[in-house]
A and B are shown apart, each in its own frame.
Chain A
Amino acid sequence: MRHLLSIDDLDREGIERVLDRAASFAEVAGREIKKVPALRGRTVVNLFYEASTRTSSSFELAAKRLSADLVSIRAATSAVAKGESLKDTIATLTAYDPAAIVIRSPHAGAAKLVAGWSDAAVVNAGDGKHEHPTQALLDVFTLRQRLGSLDGVKIWIVGDVLHSRVARSDILAFTRMGANVTLSGPPTLIPRGIEALGCDVEPTLERLPEADVVYVLRMQHERMSEAYVPSLREYAMRYQIGLDRLRPEQLLMHPGPVNRGVELSGDAIDSPQALIGQQVEAGVVVRMAVLYELLAGAGAARVLPTRMEVAA
């Protein structure tokens, strides 16, 4: 694996390899000194064109725990705000000889473009409504920790699929790991043709009790340029997941940040069947595993020391 742009860059074995590595990093996370020297002297650039709390902070922590040098750039405070193009920004950053560039962009395909313009390994930390592969990996990691295997597991993804890059990467990753995926949400928020990804679509939650896992998506007000539902009140009445709609054995997931009282009720968020906290925890170790796999793993492209290392 040279880059992680899409879940399509990984087959089932590849996903398992990354997650096994993440499990070994999880042991490190339990120690007092949480650092390993794997990426000492390598530079990781975090380039975020969109607001992000958990993804950017977990990538930062992941890079630091691997002892990499880290540069974090946020679009609002950089030359990007002065109108610099993505290509020129990448050219500038390339001068720092980064081993990896982690990019989040509001536009589909941005990470792929960066991969074409830079020698660094590129990690897609979310590109528009397209994909968010590390989120899907940490979701699979979380479920694997809990269930052992995803084979035959019935996962319902509920809510705003249309605007969700998480949903797209999750559908690919869950089905690749053997799960059966069903989408449910307001018909205005289910993209036409999505069944081609190998999932089912249910317009109502009537059959939700069949699910083993209920994965609730965030209502993405910030991505909606028009009203896709008549009101959040009606959305909540039809699609909000609360303990009244869940069986006690069903596991509940959400990529965060939660709109409490919209897609999830407060009692569900705080219930023991919610894995939301575990997902966040998994974020750091899975992103450590991704960086390790790209930069130091068996398939890592760059085996020569970077210029920086030679200079040191």
Chain B
Amino acid sequence: MSVKGLFFAGGRPADLLIRGAHLLDPRAGLDGPGDVLVRDGEIAEIGAPGTLVAPEGAETVEAEGLHLFPGFVDPHVHFRTPGQEHKEDLATGTAAAAAGGFTAVVAMPNTAPVIDDAPILRSLRDAAEQQARIPVGFLAAITRRLGGDELTEMAELRDAGALGFTDDGRPVVSAGMLRKALQYQRLAGGVLGLHEEDPSLSNGCVMHEGAVSARLGLAGYPSVGESTIVARDAALALYEQGRMHFQHISAAESVEALAYWKGRGAQVTGEASPHHLTLTDEAVLSLDTRYKMNPPLRAESDRQALIAGLKDGTIDCIATDHAPHAKHEKEVPFEEAPNGVTGLETSFASIYSELVKPGIIPLSLLVEKLTSGAALFDLCTPKIEVGLPANLALVDLGASWVVGEHGYVSRSANSCFFGRRFDGVVRLTVAAGTVAHRAPAPNTTASGVTA
């Protein structure tokens, strides 16, 4: 099945009465208890709590004490298909997304082979229509083989379903190359997603440059290696009147650059990851490879700048950069380990526990930033509104769990939140009208968690 640039296996349209949950959807103006009736996969009715009755054949979900949100959208995941299915595939990746309350995700093209021509993209779409538990969209590469020196057939790739383009995992090093992609965007359409990094400042580096890298003797990648390229590329976006989305922004200086160029009228947006919003380079003192990712965990001042950016709108959305790796691949010395952490199953809970519960950001802002990634890639934003397909996440904010060493829905377990206690368990996910995830009843061990 496909819905506007997204592909999935589909399923039986849900008939559900979700009774008495606290409905929270800032875009729909909902913030209070209510009943939601889903009929044939669509939101059929919204009523005061206890007022709706389940029609024949519809299941009733008693949801008093739980929160019902619009389904989350993650514009940045790695599903490792084709080529590295031992880490993740479309089935396990989308199931992990559903377990995290996501109802749409966007997969990156840095696979093996790279998604850089239409036949590969078409085969991936076909696979998604067989295997994907929730709708998944695909970005294609900006340059062939992510080589940085030759544009992909962007127009044909768009026709084949690419939501946009990115060389994620690598920067587009040459400004001239990126300029051509921006010019060509006028023909092809689609947002350019950019992994911003100046390799001449980051080559060989394995963590943020600062007191921790000095202590550990690890090569440090300074924040300016990201922010100077954000500033360069945003200037190009304005000059060419192109659309650009900055992926996984990690540095305070990048937030500043983004704010500046937004103010100048550039069509630029930015995302931040749960790990950059909740952890710092101090975690790397353990030399635990769970904390190795690119961009790296940075300083507390960077984390604070990202939070401020979320609040003032400079940062448009939260994206996990879900990057699964097999256990043995991470069981090596820090410098040898691959970059990346999983994130889909911990995204909501990590930010809810670390930023919402302590009162740093409101819950409604978290819900907004976990759904606003959709519009950045021209996807429909999930909304709790009558007549729309049901994209819903039912979450128990009162249930806490400890992030485990294994037992995830994802094929991989490289979570940087291992050992942390989080609040917030996703009980039910309805994606594009079908039930995509259902957690075991309370007081039993949920998937991916040890209670």
Contact = CB atoms under 8 A, between A and B. Distances in A.
Nearest to B217: A129
A191 B215 CA distance: 9
B243 to A, nearest CB: 36
Interface string B181-224: 00000000000000000000000100001111111111010100
Given A108-B333, A113-B333, A196 B204 contact: no
B117 interface: no
Name the residue in A105, A108, A129 with the highest tally of chain B Cβ atoms < 10 Å from its Cβ.
A108
Nearest to A86: B332
Given A112-B287, A128-B217, A196 B333 contact: no
A193 B210 CA distance: 5
B91 to A, nearest CB: 29
B336 interface: yes
Contacts of A165: 217
A170 interface: no
Interface in A147-183: 163-165, 168
A240 to B, nearest CB: 24
A108 B214 contact: no
Contacts of B334: 107-109
Interface residues of A, number: 27
A31 B282 CA distance: 49
B335 A108 contact: yes
B213 A130 contact: no
B12 interface: no
Given A85-B332, A86-B332, A192 B220 contact: yes
A40 interface: no
Given A108-B287, A193-B210, A168 B215 contact: yes
Interface residues of B, number: 21
A193 B214 contact: yes
B331 interface: yes
Given A85-B328, A225-B204, A110 B333 contact: yes
A189 interface: no
A129 B210 contact: no
A191 B204 contact: no
Contacts, number: 75
A193 B209 CA distance: 8
Interface in A114-153: 127-131
Interface string A64-99: 000000000000000000000111000000000000
B23 to A, nearest CB: 47
Given A129-B217, A168-B215, A196-B215, A107 B210 contact: no
Contacts of B217: 108, 128-131, 163-165, 168, 191
Given A109-B287, A196-B215, A128 B335 contact: yes
A107 B214 contact: no
Name the residue in B204, B213, B336 with the highest tally of chain A Cβ atoms < 10 Å from its Cβ.
B336
Contacts of A107: 332-336
A194 interface: yes
Nearest to A107: B333
B198 to A, nearest CB: 15
B284 to A, nearest CB: 10
Contacts of A113: 331-333
A85 B333 CA distance: 10
Contacts of A128: 217-218, 333, 335
Given A87-B331, A108-B333, A113-B333, A191 B214 contact: yes
A197 B333 contact: no
Contacts of A110: 333
B225 to A, nearest CB: 13
Contacts of B328: 85, 87
Nearest to B287: A109
Contacts of A86: 332-333
A163 B335 CA distance: 14
A125 to B, nearest CB: 15
A9 to B, nearest CB: 14
Given A107-B335, A109-B287, A130 B214 contact: no
A112 B286 CA distance: 9
A197 B210 CA distance: 12
Contacts of A129: 217-218
A129 B213 CA distance: 10
B209 A108 contact: no
B213 A191 contact: yes
Contacts of B332: 85-87, 107, 113
B333 A193 contact: no
Contact of A197 (B204, B209, B215, B220): B215
7 contacts: A86-B332, A109-B216, A109-B334, A110-B333, A192-B222, A193-B212, A195-B211
Given A108-B334, A131-B217, A191-B214, 5 more contacts: A85-B328, A107-B334, A108-B218, A113-B332, A193-B214
